[in-house]
Structure 1
Amino acid sequence: MSSTHVVESKTGTQHVDDTAVEAQRHVSHDNNGYDLDEKAKVADYKADAVEAENAEHNMGVLEAVKAYPMATFWAFIMSFTIIMESYDVFLCNNFVALPAFKEKYGIYDGEKNGYVITTGWQSALQVSGQLGALIGVFLAGPLTSRIGYRWATITGLMLLNAFILVFYFAESLPVIFVSQILEGLPWGIFIANAPAYCSEIVPIKLRAPATQMLQMFWAIGSIIVGAVTYVYNPVHNDSAFKIPIAIQWIFPTPLAILLFLAPESPWWLVRKGRLDDAARSVGRLGRKSRLNIPETVAMMRRVIELEKTEKEPSYVELFKGVDTYRTLIVCGAYAAQNLTGNLIANQAVYFFEQAGLATNTAFALGLITSALQWIFVMLSWILTTYLGRRTIYLYGSAINVVLLIALGIAGSVGNSNASTNTVAALGLIISVLFTLGPAPASWVIIGETSSIRLRPLTTGVGRASYYIVEIPLIFLSSYLLNPTGGNLGGKCGYVWGGTGLFCLVVAYFYLPEMKGRSYREIDILFKRKVPAREWKKTVVDVQDDE
């Protein structure tokens, strides 16, 4: 039984003749204990693998787009799922500033402040979706490893359709809280799967823009929310928040149909031994006239064989050996998003309101912020593609820290019109520049860092670290801004400037540059324990297998 299992795990759906099976039973070994027949099999496709890897390295960005036009399209479709989480996160954040919502669910806090959502419920509503997503990301890893990226994501989309019903018909804050936890479950699947799928279906030169699309769609979700809530801000009945809730139903079903038609990640198929299916998937992702499909599959086989063990992937493996470092990089990149300006961006409307701007002006500025974020994410494609991930991340974080401290200073000089306008302007600039540097670069880092074998699990745990850090910080952020709490306004810049500086220092010492590296090279550099600052100048020979 054991020899039959090995043959099947290596060849998948390929036919194996009796001679190969017999040879497997009478295996010989060299002086180092390696299986000579296994080494011969690897040699059979290594030459093809080398050719495919060299071809990807030699592609320019435009050439890569022409060679893989459908890969770009399907990465776009998968990234679209992030709109659902973005939309609802910003929706709940905007609801706490929406007059009709505050009048129905808030308390009267005097003539100056009018109706407000209490600090406790404000924080609870903002963390409820994240609590559900925290559960969802842990479900995503095993589910995706078993049934693939497509079917796991389709399952999440169908669940989301049902859970929106609970949100729409909720008539109390506790029920809204529960509905958001339920909606968070599929969000966890989307956010864990999207960066992994996008990074796996495109060639090396397109990994940056393909994964950075996630940040672009996050911005698009906030634009839609900003436009909808701006339109319904003057409305003082339930439709002001019921209609924005119902708009969520626009997305799941069409996306589920498209993903049903999408190809599965060929890397996932190779991991499962389904080489013929992987070849078909590569053919659907790229232009057959420009690709050598057998060579591309051979390149994937080479990497998978380097990582292969007889064990099923498990969460325990993420924290063993060199995979611990890789997991910590992914977790750090995710967690740092909340520590370098993201919470100001996510609470932009409420931040502007607490800075002293009128409600209509706050909603308008929130919409402008989201639109600028969308534009700046697209600019980041160019920067990250040509300058690298580490470079953009470090310089972007440094600029953000300076601006956050400036925000704190501006919030400390009094309540004049000049200081109010300065705080609002800095809040807008920080929210926008965050999407030019640290945010989009972190998505590329997340998509590239983990091993292929453990990728669904690593992206899930990484996103879990995001929520674990974000949930208490949402309570802190709400307290800092809320007039019934700390009422700090712009002075919160001191807090986030301090945490941003910590993230910058850690990234300087531990974040490697993975620009232009194949997954084989990334595996080897981690196994060699090359220091992060040495990656850029370290050469990995195309023949190396470690």
Structure 2
Amino acid sequence: MAATADQDLESKIQHNVHQDVYDEKAGINTSKADAIEAENAEFNMTVLEAVRAYPMASFWAFVMSCTIIMESYDVFLIGNFLALPRFIEDFGVQSPKGGMVVEAKWQSALQVSGQLGALIGVFLAGPLTSRIGYRWATLTGLMLLNVFIFAMYFAKSLPVMFVSQLLEGIPWGIFIANAPAYCSEIVPLRLRAPATQMLQMFWAIGSIIVGAVTYHYNDINAEEAYRIPIALQWMFPTPLAILIFLAPESPWWLVRKGRTEDAAKSVERLGKKSAVHSTETVAMMKRVIELEKSEKKPNHIELFKGTDLRRTLIVCGVYAAQNLTGNLIANQAVYFFRQAGMNTETAFALGLITSALQMIFVMLSWVLTTYFGRRSIYLWGSAGNCIMLIALGIAASVGASKAASNAQASLGLIVSVLFTLGPAPASWVIIGETSAIRLRPLTTGMGRATYYIVEIPCIFLASYMLNKDAANLGGKCGYVWGGTAFVCLAVAWWGLPEMKGRSYREIDIMFKRRIPARKWKKTEISINDDE
């Protein structure tokens, strides 16, 4: 009898350890033991092992990141048009100080029009993606963009160009909300940093394409100087739509929808069958989603309740800070170089060089963020940019001379490039990791909405500061952006946690335990913890 009782007790203990749940429809054993094994496997992988195990996940993250080229292309295109002689001649007015100039109000309006549309797009993206998935939401945006490019190409006035940019911005909002979330969900833990940082690399690639095109056409005295660069936007949507149609849906999204069998198939498409155990991986996903389980459908109100409020504030803060730590100088690089005293050809050449260096430095940031963490790179990069922005202001304050102009141009280039080594790429990783799985499409959408809400007044301010018919500060704008960068640095030091090497389960638990940001790195979470 005693032996039988001991056996029964041991059987109960084993049952509690494994917490076996059998999904009859999918035929998948979603035990806690499987979940633990999958999580440990991700912890024990090196970066190279993860790439070899999940080659197609890396490829599909690459494809989704390509959607960012389209927003980048158009943002830099408008900035370059403001320095393009033929565009100024066709759409500018006579300046009291001599020469033609696009009025400051239209400079600002054209640069915020796309952002206004994207602001609409990011609010549409969350509910749309939660309902139909990342693939179909992105495909919808790509097809809409194909149509909206027509309006910009045939625009004959600044108001029409403004409206066309606003319409184009709606699909951008869908892309920018979905891309970091999708990339962070389809790759294993060790690849989250490089997969999400590819977004910044493609932002740089978009600016390189624009820089090369506008540099080639800047001395052509015909409408083609700006019509052809506009038409080249059609290069991207259709080929990307074909690839996105063929891509697997995020397995995390499928598990959230209860489609565990489809999630297992998606995992198998993302990795090598010999290296990936889809049953265990799906069990790990289900374990995390059970931690976040709620009877309510995901909605924006939840983003501002309980521990999700802290996560939302981090995502929104990191997004907002991108506009306050040097990003606007990077986006207006060619125009900035012109205001610093460079001739048109030199300004376009420097803009192209800046974009090329940005891409190189983004790739360098993959190594830094993967091995040194997100918080560290973000803080050190922000501190470096803050110092360089103040130095830019000082260089502009010493008087007008060739040396001062060269110093401003050099420091402007350094600020633009340094931004892509630290704060910018680290931001994408932080955004992808911070949000709860259940609320991820909504959180990334809200974060990007904050980016646009902050960017729009900042664009007006930047145009006012640089325009010769307005404040005409030139490089002295470095004082303004240096001050805002310092505030962002202080807030990040206080509230930004280090999530390097953390599974989504650990991140959930640490937010629920309300662990202070500066203690995350030293906090240990047991592999058996569920709460």
- TM-score (norm. length: structure 1): 0.92
Aligned to 1:101: 87
% identity of equivalent residues: 76
Aligned to 2:394: 409
Q: Deviations over 1:377-398 (max 9, x none)?
A: 0000000000000000000000
Of 293, 301, 304, the residue aligned with 1:308 is 293
CA distance in 1 between partners of 2:266 and 2:466 (Å): 50
8 Å contact from structure 2 (residues 31, 283) kept in 1: yes
In the alignment, does 2:115 pair up with 1:130?
yes
CA distance in 2 between partners of 1:275 and 1:406 (Å): 55
Aligned to 1:4: none
Query: What code does the residue aligned with 2:83 have?
Result: A
CA distance in 1 between partners of 2:244 and 2:380 (Å): 37
Aligned to 2:373: 388
Q: Deviations over 1:139-198 (max 9, x none)?
A: 000000000000000000000000000000110000000000000000000000000000
- Tell me the secondary structure at the aligned position of residue 399 of structure 2: coil
Of 503, 509, 512, the residue aligned with 1:524 is 509
CA distance in 1 between partners of 2:87 and 2:453 (Å): 28
Q: Deviations over 1:283-322 (max 9, x none)?
A: 0000110111100000000001110111100000000000
Aligned to 1:14: none
Give the aligned CA root-mean-square deviation in angstroms. 1.2
Q: Deviations over 1:193-213 (max 9, x none)?
A: 000000000000000000000
Query: What code does the residue aligned with 2:224 have?
Result: S
Q: Deviations over 1:22-55 (max 9, x none)?
A: xxxxxxxxxxxxxx9x966399610000000000
In the alignment, does 2:21 pair up with 1:41?
yes
8 Å contact from structure 2 (residues 19, 32) kept in 1: no
Aligned to 2:456: 471
Matches within 5 A, 1:474-489: 474-489=459-474
CA distance in 1 between partners of 2:350 and 2:106 (Å): 25
Query: What code does the residue aligned with 1:79 have?
Result: S
CA distance in 1 between partners of 2:356 and 2:374 (Å): 24
Aligned to 2:354: 369
Structure 1 residue 114: Cα displacement: 1.5
Structure 1 residue 109: Cα displacement: 1.5
In the alignment, does 2:152 pair up with 1:167?
yes
Aligned to 1:237: 222
Structure 1 residue 113: Cα displacement: 4.7
Aligned to 2:126: 141
- TM-score (norm. length: structure 2): 0.95
CA distance in 2 between partners of 1:473 and 1:312 (Å): 35
Aligned to 2:424: 439
Change (3 A) 1:438 1:412: same
- Tell me the secondary structure at the aligned position of residue 539 of structure 1: coil
Of 47, 69, 73, the residue aligned with 1:87 is 73
Of 168, 174, 184, the residue aligned with 1:189 is 174
8 Å contact from structure 2 (residues 464, 470) kept in 1: yes
Query: What code does the residue aligned with 1:293 have?
Result: S
- Tell me the secondary structure at the aligned position of residue 235 of structure 1: coil
CA distance in 2 between partners of 1:154 and 1:302 (Å): 30
Query: What code does the residue aligned with 1:338 have?
Result: N
Aligned to 2:9: none
Q: Which runs of 5 or more structure 1 residues have no equivalent in the other structure?
A: 1-35
Of 55, 72, 77, the residue aligned with 1:69 is 55
Aligned to 2:190: 205
Aligned to 2:264: 279
Change (3 A) 1:113 1:53: farther
CA distance in 2 between partners of 1:41 and 1:73 (Å): 33
Query: What code does the residue aligned with 1:93 have?
Result: G
Aligned to 1:52: 38
Large movers: runs of 4+ above 3 Å: 38-44
Q: Deviations over 1:69-127 (max 9, x none)?
A: 000000000000000000000001111110000000001225x6521100000000000
